[in-house]
Chains A and B, each alone.
Chain A
């Protein structure tokens, strides 16, 4: 929602004179606005998809050929058909749900392991100066490397099973979470640490009661990005060589010059990613309820 409506919600002068009527008027205005936004959103999708579809079907003056060549760019109706075929008849690699489940399994495993390792190492290196001094150059070097190339190594060493994809996802997720956890630990308010020490905290209590909760908001913020990376790891890994998975579906579609298949698989990935995003946001709000209501509705 816009900054404007956020301001009016917090304005004490306005809430002081809240009569029933003005409250109702505001609710109505908000509902109207939401409707407008939704209508415009749908209109946007219709226009883009409509032009795409028309560009691939209407032959401009019966000589020049089509505006958009569906052989390369696919067409929305073709993508929908492809999705329908996959849902009803399954893909060349087996039923569609199996492909989605495989990719999700790899992404989730990679995500969980990567987050776990990232948090542990981030907190450890953030707390212990010596560790961070020793490992800093290595971590920087590894981070600077395009880690997707590790996918090939993992396929060679681990094989075509899901674990090579999990490993790639772990590597991608780890660094995002690691840097956030590390920074979160380093940014802990000095006064809070001093206060905890005066109140009698041991080193361990300092970690569990002050440093970890304080770093938690940093870590949670990184989870949004890192689930995306986990998906990238899983899909790229499958692309490089797999038995099942969306990535394999994409690479097969590419090999058979089937752009509709590539787009349809992309669509499925988008749905998966958005669902994960919703779950993560819910989780975040549950875990840091102590935080003032930050501008959660700024996200589109």
Chain B
């Protein structure tokens, strides 16, 4: 087996809570993503899914264990990484064009070239004509498209996505998922896609990893052998889809219940 593109070995991540106690978000997590693989990570709320992405991106160091990307230990933010955040992360004071051109500009491309590339990416995500708009003038779905273009223009070999579509309505979401698959099929980056939506995970991914209720660790890994190219809207009707769904859900359900019980207790 070749060296995985992303590899987490026995990773533990502890945070200091405001009250001064240590909170363990991840415990002894092992995860490997192969070159060009689309890996979805699912788990109940608060299981440390986002933390996993922060570790891979280099935004956060692990407390224990080792994070390797392309066979090198991660120290700080790498150049090959793209990150689509759960909340809006486009810069509100930049127009769509400037937002998308930001990555190349940061990396030293001169303005004209950066803007030419940005125009091309704006077209690819279906925002042509909105180059001069500011984020607050766009809908949530359009802002997400802008964020996608902003991330993909850097042509990341590793694409990290943190529930990117969770704030969108169902129709827009399905559209965006299909477009993501299309864009991805052209680049074949290695993807780690975090979601709490199992259907979304199966529809998009080659492999689904279930994380336990916090502190998060891997509960199970499942191959999704559905053919590509896929249509996210229709793939759910295939019998294979329901079979995989049922298999993973059996695992996930327990964790969701654990997390639910916990949240009930902390409320009462």
Contact = CB atoms under 8 A, between A and B. Distances in A.
B94 interface: yes
Contacts of A213: 91, 93
Contacts of A288: 93
Contacts of B102: 196, 199, 209
Main secondary structure of the interface of B (DSSP, over half): loop
A194 interface: yes
B77 A198 contact: yes
B83 interface: yes
A289 B135 CA distance: 12
Nearest to A214: B93
Contacts of B79: 200
B154 interface: yes
A199 B103 contact: yes
A191 to B, nearest CB: 5
A210 interface: yes
Contacts of A88: none
A89 interface: no
Interface residues of B, number: 27
A291 B136 contact: yes
Interface string A193-212: 01111111110010001100
Contacts of A289: 134
Contacts of B59: 194, 197-198
A283 interface: no
Nearest to B156: A198
Given A291-B136, A292-B136, A194 B92 contact: no
B237 interface: no
Contacts of B150: 199
A291 B94 CA distance: 10
B85 interface: yes
A195 B93 contact: no
A196 B82 CA distance: 11
B81 interface: yes
Nearest to B79: A200
Contact of B83 (A195, A205, A210): A195
B91 A198 contact: no
Contacts of B85: 191, 194-195
A216 B92 CA distance: 12
Interface of A: 191-192, 194-202, 205, 209-210, 213-214, 216, 288-292
25 contacts: A191-B89, A192-B91, A194-B59, A194-B83, A195-B91, A196-B91, A196-B102, A197-B59, A198-B77, A198-B82, A198-B151, A199-B103, A199-B154, A200-B103, A200-B106, A202-B106, A205-B106, A213-B93, A216-B93, A288-B93, A290-B92, A290-B94, A290-B135, A291-B93, A292-B136
